[in-house]
Every structure is written in structure tokens, then in C-alpha cells.
Amino acid sequence: MPAKKTVATTLTMEDLAKLAGVSKITVSRALRDSPLVTVETREKIRALAEQQGYRLNVSARNLRMGRSYSVAVVVEMTPVRGRPMSDPYPLELLGGITQELTTAGYSVVLTSKQLMNTAPVMGADGLILLGQGSHGEAVRTVQQTGMPLVVWGAPQPGSDYIVVGSDNRKGGISAAERFIAQGRQKLVFLGDVDHAEVQERCAGFIDAMGGAAMVHIIRPKAFTFEAGFDSISALLKKKGASFDGVFAASDLLAMGAIRALAEKNLRVPENVSVIGYDDTPGAASFVPPLTSVHQYLRDGGVLLAKKMLGLIEGQPVASEMLPTTLMVRQT
């Protein structure tokens, strides 16, 4: 008598849930390593799935849920030799974003404005934009997708998108208070105020100075060491140029400014005080150690991701600003 043929059956998530004595959603979360399921339950379900030869059909799940479980992160900045992508901005933001999204079971699609029309980006469940661009042009570009959007930057009047950022105005105020305490009266603000974040830093700085000092604004288009060096070198060549304080919109600009001052035998902080922004790792080790406004970029990345997950789930979400801290050193 011929042997009976055995028909292979495909184990479903529902079958696995029954075997584990839990709900389907718990199985789904456990297989995505979601923190909403205890470690003990996750390990139990994963072990059972491996024993039964079960594999999560991600494509089928995404199709059923109408989601891709991915979020596109668009980096507005253009990497240049003096300001690489490996700098704390945007690397620390990306670290926080990735940590939060992957914990929630989402993948991260890293891209630029130039690659917005690619399938992985257009198939994402939402967009996180790092940087608003000059005059907010980057925001206008990504808004055309009609996708859920969260932006790292500064709130703008009349804007209809969620913003997470540092309190740039408070950062500018803290720099002004430091200069006032030092008795500085002829000041330079160094940064491109066409960017919303830089505009807020400048506005807070000037408002806090009030009538206590004159502020001259220099607007280099880059945030690099070279731009800071060139800007202050050009200012020092002007007849009658006199200033005793520089507030730069980035640490690299501040470091370049200090080098330009040193080449003209102007000592920091004896002749000119300098304050940077971002408090990058290089600020503390610079010679002299740079006073700088600290941004909590990793926390900002986590918050960006949380806001995005809230939008995807249809929850009420509001813009939010993180504090800044002036790190006083020797400049």
C-alpha cells in the first residue's frame, strides 16, 4: 500500500498566539522586539516561533496594515569638507531618531532632498526633516509629499507642521548675559540669519543686549571653520574696525574666528571674548577651551521620533522646544 502523503501546513500568527497563550498583537510586538512586551514574554514567543519554524511575513503584515513601518529622515545640510556628516549635527540627532524608531519596530530610510522621489522614501509612513533650509525652502519641498512631517528647527509664524528644536532664543540670551557680565560693548554676531534657528539665536542675543552694546551682524553662508576665519579676517582689515566680543552661530565658526584673531595678535578672551554654539566635543579640547551653548541633540532625535510615531498613530501632537545650557570655559 502506498504511503499517505503528508500535507505541509503553514503556521499562522494566530496559531502561534494560541500555542503561546497570548494575543496576536502580543506575538507581533514580540517578534518586532517591542518594549511593550516584557523581555520574558518576548524570549518565550521567539523561542516558540523558532521551534515551530515560524517566520514573520513582513510584506504581508505591512500590506494588511496599510503601512511600511518605515520613516524617511531627510538631511537638509549639504556635506562639505569643513563640515562633514560625522559632526554631532546631524549624527547625534540621527542616533536618537534611530534608537526610538527601531525600538518601536520601524526602519529608518536616510535620504536627502535630491532623492525625495525614490520608492523607499515615498513608501515611508512619514518624514523627519533635519533643518529648515534658507528661508524655509527645505520645508516647502518636503511638504509637497503630503506625508506626516516633523521638522528639526525653529517654529515659524503661521506654520502648520510639527517642530522640535532647541530654545535658540534662550541660547542667544545666555550668550548676551555672559558678554554683559564681562563688560563687552562692541559685539559681532556671526551666522546666516536666513536660517530660522540662527535668526532666533541672533534675535535673542540682540534683544537681551538691549542698549548695552552695539551688535554688528556678519552673514557667512557656511557654518565652517574657514567661513569663520574669512569673515573675521575681512572685518579686521576694515579701517577703524573695533570689537570686543564675537557670538558665533556654530562652534566651527567660533574656532575660525579665534584663529583669525590670533593671527592679528588679538588675545582671547583678554582682547576679544568668543562664544560658539552646539558645544561640540571639539569645543572643550580647543585652545583655548571654547565657551559654547550646548544643544541636547540626542534627546532632540528621540523627541522627533516620538512625535512622528504619534502622528502615524493619529494622536494629538504639538511642537516642542528643548532647553539650552551655556557651557562657560576660557573664551
Preceding amide of 316 cis, omega within 30:
no
* Beta carbons of 164 and 154 less than 8 angstroms apart: no
138, burial (CB in 10 Å: exposed 0-12, middle 13-18, buried 19+): buried
> Which range has the worst mean pLDDT, 33-42, 51-60, 108-117, 248-257?
51-60
- The whole-number average pLDDT for the span 229-240 is 95
H or E, element range at 185: none
Higher pLDDT, 212 or 174: 174
- Quick one: pLDDT at residue 248? 98
Q: What is the pLDDT of residues 75-99, one digit of tens each?
A: 987 666 666 666 778 899 999 999 9
Identity of residue 80:
V
Q: Distance between CA atoms of 152 and 90, rounded to whole angstroms? A: 10
Report the predicted TM-score, pTM, of the whole model to 2 decimal places.
0.80
295, burial (CB in 10 Å: exposed 0-12, middle 13-18, buried 19+): buried
- Residues pairing with 129 in the sheet: 74, 151
CB-CB neighbours of 203 under 10 Å: 17
Q: Distance between CA atoms of 210 and 203, rounded to whole angstroms? A: 11
- Quick one: pLDDT at residue 89? 81
Q: Distance between CA atoms of 227 and 76, rounded to whole angstroms? A: 19
Residue 33 gets which letter from DSSP? T
* Beta carbons of 249 and 221 less than 8 angstroms apart: no
Confidence of residue 68 (pLDDT cuts 50, 70, 90): confident
Residue 5 gets which letter from DSSP? P
- Quick one: pLDDT at residue 108? 95
- Quick one: pLDDT at residue 321? 97
Q: What is the pLDDT of residues 266-313, one digit of tens each?
A: 999 999 999 999 999 999 999 999 999 999 999 999 999 999 999 998
* Beta carbons of 73 and 97 less than 8 angstroms apart: yes
Confidence of residue 6 (pLDDT cuts 50, 70, 90): very low
- Quick one: pLDDT at residue 66? 55
Coil/strand/helix, residue 221 = coil
50, burial (CB in 10 Å: exposed 0-12, middle 13-18, buried 19+): exposed
Percent of the chain at pLDDT > 70 equals: 90
Q: What is the pLDDT of residues 20-40, one digit of tens each?
A: 899 888 887 887 777 788 989
* Nearest alpha carbon to residue 76 among 128, 143, 118, 121: 128
Query: For residue 232, is pLDDT > 70?
Result: yes
Which cell numbers hold the place of 235? 572685518
